[in-house]
Amino acid sequence: MRVGVLGGTFDPIHKGHLEMAKQALLRLNLDEVWIMPAGNPPHKSNFEISGRIQRFEMCEVACKDESNIKVIRSEFYALRSEPNYTYLSMEKFQKDYPGYELYFLMGQDSIDYFDQWVEPQRILNACKIGVFLRSESDASTKERCLQKIESLNSLFSGEIIPIFYCPTAISSTEIRRMIENGGTDEEISQYVTKDVLSYIREKGLYEANKYFDVKEIKKHLEEKLKPSRYMHTLGVADTASSLAFHYHYNDKKAYMAGLLHDCAKYMSNEELLIYCDSNGLEITAGEKKAPHLLHSKAGAYMAKEAYHIEDDDVLHAILVHTTGCPNMSLLDKIIFVSDYIEPNRDKAKRLTEIRQMAFLNLDFAILMILEDTMDYILGNNQYLDATTKETYEYYVKEKRS
């Protein structure tokens, strides 16, 4: 079996990557090409790339109809926390697939500094290397690349093979920029497959940051909230981001919802009543009995008007984070649970179990939270909001179904 391994960040994978794989199949007479998304690329900061699971899933979506192009589904390759140095991956392939003739595929830009990679000789001990050279490059560039390959073949034992091809004139960076700048589906679909585009839209990847600068929001919240409330806010934001990553949701969106979920919490009950009334927000009979519940409604309004949050998902998650609601969205669930389990919380009786359950089954975690909330409210003769009761009944029914 002759196999080419195409590694990369794939943020996102695009048609140019697929064309490279197809060219390698043809030019090197390969049986298969394996796409290897780097879980933790050594040359990129985590702030520069999307979640590893999202990039991995995009690759799977892109290759689902390709019979000879596959994605490596393995914790070692896609989910490891340590940097994904090429020599480690190729040596693992060599061990796992004895008898396979392996080729590591790289772009023209990489060949110039291959001798500076970590353990280049160990890479060549484990596989041959195919280098994609752009056919449209001028003669001097082609000559320089070929001389570099010849030099490397003399410097190291092994074989580096040039592959001339005509690349698609696009990069992942340009695609991200197009999406951030509001590019249309018609424009972007020229460069990524229809299914990858659908995935990007569904997850809200690469969308422009419509929010204020996070540092400015934090500064403003720190000035408004009590120190303990501010620390709780940061804990909810971090927990929401972690849960979002775990459940393949947009972690930046979840972080912002967590950061602003208690933005109106600095107001007293009387101030909340006045704020909601003066801004035309409906105050229910239950909220008049328990005005503290209004901080969610006031917070959603404040997030939109004061912090210019236009994302309806974020605003709704803030709105329902205290009482919950039947049939919550994924972001609603993430913020509702994060508010309860964030690291600064320490008084709930089943906190450890709920924290564990949050990363196993969000619905069960929600039900556990609602059960304990109902017990506490009824046991202390406090007011039980109708929405909390409805939410509890909904998730009890969901558990039984």
Under 8 Å between Cβ of 168 and 191: yes
pLDDT computed for residue 45 by the predictor? 38
Residue 122 has what pLDDT? 96
How far is 194 from 190, CA to CA, in rounded Å?
Answer: 9
Q: Could you give phi then psi for residue 275, rounded to 5 degrees? A: -60, -45
Cβ atoms of residues 267 and 275 within 8 Å: yes
For residue 315, give both structure tokens. 């605003």
Question: How far is Cα 239 from Cα 365, in angstroms, rounded to an integer?
Answer: 14
19 burial (CB, 10 Å; 0-12 / 13-18 / 19+) is middle
Tokens 């801004």 — which residue?
279
pLDDT at 50: 56
Please give the Cα distance from 151 to 53 (Å, whole number): 38
Report angle CA 280, 281, 286 to the nearest 5 degrees: 135
Q: What are the backbone dihedrals phi and psi of residue 69, each rounded to the nearest 5 degrees, phi first?
A: -120, 120
* Domains along the sequence of the chain with CATH: 2-203 (3.40.50.620), 214-400 (1.10.3210.10)
**Rounded to a whole number, what is the distance in angstroms from the first to the last CA of the chain?**
48
CA distance 285 to 388: 14
**Predicted pLDDT at 380:** 85
- Distance CA(378)–CA(15), nearest Å, equals 58
Residues 6+ apart with CB under 8 A from 40: 46, 52, 80, 81, 82, 83, 84
pLDDT reported for residue 391: 94
Q: Write the CB contacts of 259 (distance below 8 Å, at least 6 apart in sequence).
A: 214, 217, 218, 221, 233, 234, 236, 237
- Cis omega before residue 227 (within 30°)? no
CA distance 69 to 18: 8
What's the confidence (pLDDT) of residue 41? 46
The pLDDT assigned to 51 comes to 65
Q: What single string gives the DSSP state of each residue in 162-221?
A: EEEE---S--HHHHHHHHHTT--HHHHTTTS-HHHHHHHHHHTTT----SPPHHHHHHHH
pLDDT in tens, the chain (401 residues): 999 999 888 999 999 999 999 999 999 999 999 998 876 444 443 333 456 778 888 999 999 999 999 998 655 554 454 566 889 889 999 999 999 999 999 988 888 899 999 999 999 999 999 999 887 777 888 888 899 999 999 999 999 999 988 877 788 999 998 998 889 999 999 999 999 999 998 877 887 655 557 888 999 999 999 999 999 999 999 999 999 988 888 888 899 999 999 999 999 999 999 999 999 999 998 899 899 999 999 999 999 999 988 888 999 999 999 999 999 999 999 999 999 999 999 888 899 999 999 999 999 999 999 999 989 888 888 888 889 999 999 998 887 66
**3-class DSSP assignment, residue 104:** strand
Answer for the pair 118, 85: CB distance below 8 angstroms, yes or no: yes
The helix (run of H) or strand (run of E) holding residue 19 is helix 15-27
Can you give the pTM of this predicted structure? Answer: 0.60
